[in-house]
Amino acid sequence: MEALTIEAEAPLVLGTTADNLIAAIAGEHYEYSEMYPEFADVAEEEGLEDIAVRLRAIGRAEEHHANKFQFDEALEDCSNATNEFNAAKSSADQALTYAKDSNDNVFVTYIGYLVNEIDAKLNATSELQLAIPYMQQNDTTNANVHRNLANNYMDQAVDYKAKKDAITSQNPSKFK
């Protein structure tokens, strides 16, 4: 019986959890985009079709692993963004109350746009959180519905920001 010798290297990162996850995603990407396809090509060249088929299947599995890491990270990012936007919304709502009490229409309008901008970003983030599980299931139809809604909300947020910027430039003495 012939012996088979295999030599391989794998990057090792010992750092923060985030660093290790990034390294894991990079490793999975390398495996599915380069390593297993190259192994399969060699197997085909050597007439080992069954092995080539299995190596390509392993590569597809590694691609799934990489995508799962990225989906999990995206969900966590959405959760963190939601928390940050909710905190900002609370502060903006309080600022709007103070602005209304001041009877300064410029500030009331500006803070009103700020609240609307934050609401749009919260809605966009919520839609992304809904889209991600559909992406994980390769349900592009439903994923795209929520992705498009998220994009529409972000377009609204950009519009509100532009309105705030216009108020700022039209009232330089109030915004120093």
According to the model, what pLDDT value does residue 170 have? 95
Record the pTM: 0.64
Amino acid identity, residue 24?
A: A
According to the model, what pLDDT value does residue 79 have? 87
* Under 8 Å between Cβ of 117 and 157: yes
* Under 8 Å between Cβ of 113 and 164: yes
Residues of the chain falling short of pLDDT 70: 1, 4, 6-29, 64-69
According to the model, what pLDDT value does residue 32 have? 72
According to the model, what pLDDT value does residue 12 have? 59
CA Rg value for the chain: 25
According to the model, what pLDDT value does residue 11 have? 57
| Nearest of 132, 114, 111, 134 to residue 122 by alpha carbon | 114
Q: Which residue is listed with tokens 């990079």? A: 26
Q: Which residue is listed with tokens 């940050």? A: 84
User: How do residues 111-136 score in pLDDT, each as one tens digit?
Assistant: 999 999 999 999 999 998 998 888 87
Distance separating alpha carbons of residues 132 and 146, to the nearest angstrom:
9
